[in-house]
Amino acid sequence: MLAEYWPILLFITVATGLGLVLLAVGTLLGPKTPTLKKRSAYECGFEAFEDARMKFDVRYYLIAILFIIFDLEIAFLFPWAVVFKQIGIVALIEMGLFLALLVVGFVYVWKKGALEWE
């Protein structure tokens, strides 16, 4: 039974070894010319002006999470659409309920003002 896992163990060993070898080669052969300009912080073409630990607005994360939630329903629609003829009217009703629930959630978030960026 253990013989079935040898290919996986071999793959993990080779991948780890190759990763370590590539890191070592890059460290040994890579350029080593640290200058003050190369060590300085770089932010989109201009000098750093604030602390790196500054707080982000919570709305940024909220918009990102809402995008993920309301965009991932497409992942549930594709398999459903592929087998629609085989699953029949019950699946159509279930998918309608699923999409209705997503619309209710979207309207709730919209009415709460979570999508407003002021």
pLDDT digits (tens, 9 = 90+) for 39-59: 776 666 556 666 667 676 777
Domains (range + CATH), the chain: 2-112 (1.20.58.1610)
pLDDT of 104 reads: 92
Which SS3 state, helix, strand or coil, does residue 56 take? Answer: coil
How confident is the chain (118 residues) per 10-residue block, as mean pLDDT?
A: 88 97 94 78 62 70 81 80 84 88 88 79
d(CA 26, CA 48): 28
Q: Token digits for 15?
A: 């991948």
pLDDT of 22 reads: 97
Beta partners for 46? 43
Is the CA virtual torsion 52, 56, 62, 67 positive or negative? negative
